Amino acid sequence: MSRVRHRFLRPSAGAVLVVLWPLAAAGQELSLNAALARAEQAAPALVARAAQLDAAREDAARAAALPDPRLVVGVANLPIDGAHAFDLRADDMTMKQIGLMQEIPARAKREARAALAARQVDAAQADSEAARLRLRQATAQAWIALRAAQELIDAIEAQREQAALAIELAKARLAGGRGSVVDAMAAQAAALDLDNRRDSAQGQLEAARAALARWLDVDPAHLAASGSWPDFAALPTSEAELLGRLDHQAALLPWQARSDLAQAAVDVAVAGKRPDWSISASYGQRSRSPGGMRRDDMLMFEVAVGLPLFARNRQDRDVAARRAELAAVEAEHEDARRAQLDTLRETLAQWHAMQRLVARKQQQLLPLAHDRSRTALAAYRGGGALQPWLDARRDELELEVEHTTHLSELGRAWAALAFLLPTAETTP
């Protein structure tokens, strides 16, 4: 039997530990795990999410703090008309004042704002994790596409050897008077067809390199996918766990945090009905009268409290608006959950179908097609017709192209399932 080059059923060594090896200066060869690790280090999207998380944490640290105190400076009882208008010394009731005022929001408001800030931190963390999972999934799919393109190039190169041998045999039979010009031309046309196929596959290879380089921030020239294929027949987590943990998957991970954030906004609006307080104290220095008399200086202290007397048209409307937003978020969450469940089921169905399709081609159809092509070429060498080899070669090439396409589709479906959950134990 012929060799089998597609060994996607074998898991890669060191599947759980992710190690970033430096790119080789000449070949830039990367295994899947190395590509994943490098992508996480080079992703500006993750840097942005980390900065947003830092910002949310800084906001949370000050959310429950009291407002800054205010310094108050002024003049009281200053005449503004008559002969002594705006004269600070004309009236002994005039005094210069300096004081401090501190606003004290209701404790319920401060606690609600702190809870809202904490939920914003949770939302930023969920967004960051979801972005990391999407990055890993996209990087894995790009690596698989590149590896599949390399496999197709190898398959075409293997057929070029047969095509060159067929040309030599056709020329030798023609020179010996046992062949025909038509066979020689057909053999050459078959070789030219392979050249066209290789050029097309080379274009796919370059596109796949560019797609992977986009996530790795490297020069795509000579970038290659190396190492073993992942085990496309197994997932890091069971199908039952995937179906049972929808809200923990990348597409839904931020939604629970958004729901909690909307609920915290409702709590802030409800706490808005509580009155705020303020405390102020000031010192007043009296002016001397024209006769030389000077009244005593004054100390003033006051407490103010807010009066939410018009809650129906103010605070109640705020509460109603926030509750409507919460209802909208919960409805969108449910819609996203249904869409994710549908997508997950479709991807699982595609993964199962592609497993069977790729395994059948790998284990039966490809070896059979290769043996048929070799047998037809051997028969032609022994004096048989060329057309059986041309047909077998064409069928084998079409099967290789189809198999590479299906292998890439299987890999995309596997990557879409393998990088859904954020737990470290699910690293493929």
State the average pLDDT over residues 195-217.
Answer: 90
Model confidence band, residue 426 (pLDDT cutoffs 50, 70, 90): very low
Residues 51 and 153 in one domain: yes
Angle of CA points 55, 337, 236, to nearest 5°: 80
Distance CA 426, CA 315 (A): 47
Model confidence band, residue 213 (pLDDT cutoffs 50, 70, 90): very high
CATH number, residue 93: 2.20.200
Residues 208 and 302 in one domain: no
Residues 194 and 300 in one domain: no
* Cα-based distances in Å from 80 to 73, 92, 94, 232, 388: 19, 14, 11, 89, 116
Model confidence band, residue 423 (pLDDT cutoffs 50, 70, 90): low
Output 48 or 183, whichever has higher pLDDT: 48
Q: Tens digits of per-residue pLDDT, 278-322?
A: 999 999 888 766 666 667 888 889 999 988 888 788 888 989 999
Distance CA 180, CA 174 (A): 6
User: Which residue among 307, 325, 352 closes a domain?
Assistant: 307
Which segment of 14-18, 85-89, 165-169 scores lowest on mean pLDDT? Answer: 14-18
Mean pLDDT value across the chain = 84
Asked whether residue 17 is domain-assigned, the answer is no
State the average pLDDT over residues 182-208.
Answer: 85
Asked whether residue 375 is domain-assigned, the answer is yes
Does residue 68 carry a pLDDT above 50? yes
Q: What percent of the chain has a predicted confidence (pLDDT) above 90?
A: 45
State the average pLDDT over residues 358-370.
Answer: 90
Instruction: Return the pLDDT at 103.
Output: 92
Q: Tens digits of per-residue pLDDT, 323-357?
A: 999 999 999 999 999 999 999 999 999 999 999 99
> Can you give the pTM of this predicted structure?
0.78
Output 21 or 137, whichever has higher pLDDT: 137
| CA-based end-to-end distance of the chain | 32
Closest to 101 (Cα-Cα) out of 301, 284, 285, 305: 301
* Joined tokens for residue 339: 């869409």
Sorted by sequence, the CB contacts under 8 Å of residue 338 that are 6+ apart come out as none
Model confidence band, residue 260 (pLDDT cutoffs 50, 70, 90): very high
Asked whether residue 7 is domain-assigned, the answer is no
**Which domain does 34 fall in, by range?**
29-66+105-273+308-426
Cβ atoms of 241 and 332 closer than 8 Å: no
Cβ atoms of 39 and 142 closer than 8 Å: no
Distance CA 134, CA 139 (A): 8
Closest to 272 (Cα-Cα) out of 304, 305, 311, 303: 311
On the 0-12 / 13-18 / 19+ scale of CB atoms within 10 A, 8 is buried
Phi, psi angles (nearest 5°) of residue 5: -90, -25
Residues 151 and 267 in one domain: yes
Sorted by sequence, the CB contacts under 8 Å of residue 208 that are 6+ apart come out as 142, 145, 146, 148, 149
Residues 229 and 324 in one domain: yes
Instruction: Return the pLDDT at 209.
Output: 93
Instruction: Return the pLDDT at 8.
Output: 38
Asked whether residue 217 is domain-assigned, the answer is yes
Residues 97 and 120 in one domain: no
Asked whether residue 341 is domain-assigned, the answer is yes
Residues 111 and 227 in one domain: yes
State the average pLDDT over residues 3-25.
Answer: 36
On the 0-12 / 13-18 / 19+ scale of CB atoms within 10 A, 34 is buried
Closest to 216 (Cα-Cα) out of 37, 18, 38, 49: 38
CATH number, residue 410: 1.20.1600.10
Closest to 347 (Cα-Cα) out of 250, 249, 419, 413: 413
Residues 147 and 281 in one domain: no
Pairing of strands 298-305, 277-286: antiparallel
DSSP secondary structure letters along 253-300: HHHHHHHHHHHHHHHHHHHTTSPPEEEEEEEEEEPBPTTS-BPPPEEE
Model confidence band, residue 122 (pLDDT cutoffs 50, 70, 90): very high
Residue type, 102: Q
Which segment of 118-122, 309-313, 416-420 scores lowest on mean pLDDT? Answer: 309-313
Distance CA 333, CA 387 (A): 61
- Most confident listed range (180-184, 196-200, 262-266): 262-266
Residue type, 117: A
Closest to 415 (Cα-Cα) out of 271, 229, 286, 261: 229
Instruction: Return the pLDDT at 169.
Output: 74
In Å, how far from its chain's centre is CA 272? 37
Distance CA 36, CA 21 (A): 11
State the average pLDDT over residues 361-387.
Answer: 85
Asked whether residue 227 is domain-assigned, the answer is yes
Asked whether residue 155 is domain-assigned, the answer is yes
The total of structural domains in the chain comes to: 2
Reported as type and span, the H/E element at residue 389 is helix 387-418
Within 10 angstroms of residue 247's Cβ, the number of other Cβ atoms is 15
Q: Tens digits of per-residue pLDDT, 146-166?
A: 999 998 898 888 888 777 777
Residues 173 and 72 in one domain: no
Residues 202 and 100 in one domain: no
Asked whether residue 20 is domain-assigned, the answer is no
Residues 140 and 227 in one domain: yes
Instruction: Return the pLDDT at 187.
Output: 79
* Dihedral over Cα of 180, 183, 185, 188: its sign: negative
Phi, psi angles (nearest 5°) of residue 141: -65, -40
Q: Which residue has the tokens 């031309």?
A: 185
Q: Report the phi/psi class of residue 71: left, alpha or beta, with left for phi > 0 and alpha for psi in -120 to 50.
A: beta
Does residue 25 carry a pLDDT above 70? no
Instruction: Return the pLDDT at 9.
Output: 37
* Joined tokens for residue 148: 């599949």
